[in-house]
Amino acid sequence: MNEGPTQKADAAVARNPGGNSEAADPPPDIIIRLTQVEKSFGALKVLRGINLEIARGEVVVVCGPSGSGKSTMIRCINGLETINGGEIWIEGKRLAAGRFQRLNAKVGMVFQSFNLFPHLTIMQNLILAPTRVLNLSKEQGLERAKKLLARVGILVKADDFPDTLSGGQQQRAAIARALCMEPEIMLFDEPTSALDPEMINDVLDVMRGLAHDGMTMIVVTHEMGFAREVADRIVFMDDGQIVEMANPTTFFDNPKEERTKRFISKILTH
Ligand SMILES: Nc1ncnc2c1ncn2[C@@H]1O[C@H](COP(=O)(O)OP(=O)(O)OP(=O)(O)O)[C@@H](O)[C@H]1O
Ligand SMILES: [Mg+2]
């Protein structure tokens, strides 16, 4: 027999007879954990003891001045950079220290510069990794890709080459390509900063939809309207460290640290 909502509620009460709803909440399912992560390029210390835990389904916006280590942090999470100290755990598995990772199919990444293969059509871009890495048949790949292209609103561009698409369309194709691997986590590194203003919202809309559907997301962006509306938490980095971390309301309306205040006033007056 399926456990219906009433049985579930009854079972929760039985486990927690005092009825204290706080105690009945399950512990958060931590999908990404960074402890004391350090990264240097030669003598330059770029990440200096990063501690961060992200729960499944959480949307975390990362912001901070240029050079503060935002891209490096998410590249480390995706295994594109090796770390020099600390630990990174993804879905309960520790990334091996000191060496590059095999492509992690659970983590999708979208870059500022789209990074589509120029000699492949949009459809070929989408089905390449699923057919090679996940061993999907071409038919399965095509079916999955069509659904995703429809979802991001560019199914009509399936057989076109990337350079015939607008920047916003290319970025939506890049998001669809990442989703084609059915990742558990999506990392975005300034996905809208190379786009003309009128295209930004189309991309943000796709990201809003993903967040709404429960995707775990880390988004490096200075789109503060998006951050306020969509983020569960905002992380402010400066000089290789996390200076402040708070929900959007607290972050924007009541930041604690001087450095955060200065940064917010700068970006909001831009
Ligand atoms: N491959 C590399 N080799 C050497 N130094 C690097 C490398 N990648 C990044 N850095 C340096 O690490 C520091 C942090 O860079 P990172 O790209 O993470 O910053 P960021 O916060 O993403 O900045 P931005 O907002 O400009 O994108 C910078 O000083 C940068 O020059
Ligand atoms: Mg960057």
CA angle, 175 as apex, 51 and 61 as ends, to 5°?
30
pLDDT at site 104 = 74
pLDDT at site 267 = 85
DSSP state of 94: E
Q: Whose CA is nearest to atom 1 of ligand 1?
A: 41
Q: Whose CA is nearest to atom 9 of ligand 1?
A: 72
pLDDT at site 249 = 96
What CA–CA distance (Å, rounded) separates 77 from 83? 10
What CA–CA distance (Å, rounded) separates 84 from 69? 14
Q: With a cut of 70, list the residues of the chain below it in pLDDT.
A: 1-26, 96-103, 270
The per-residue DSSP string of 171-192 comes to HHHHHHHHHTT--SEEEEESTT
Q: Whose CA is nearest to atom 28 of ligand 1?
A: 67
Q: Who lines ligand 1 at CB under 6 A?
A: 41, 44, 46, 64, 66-72
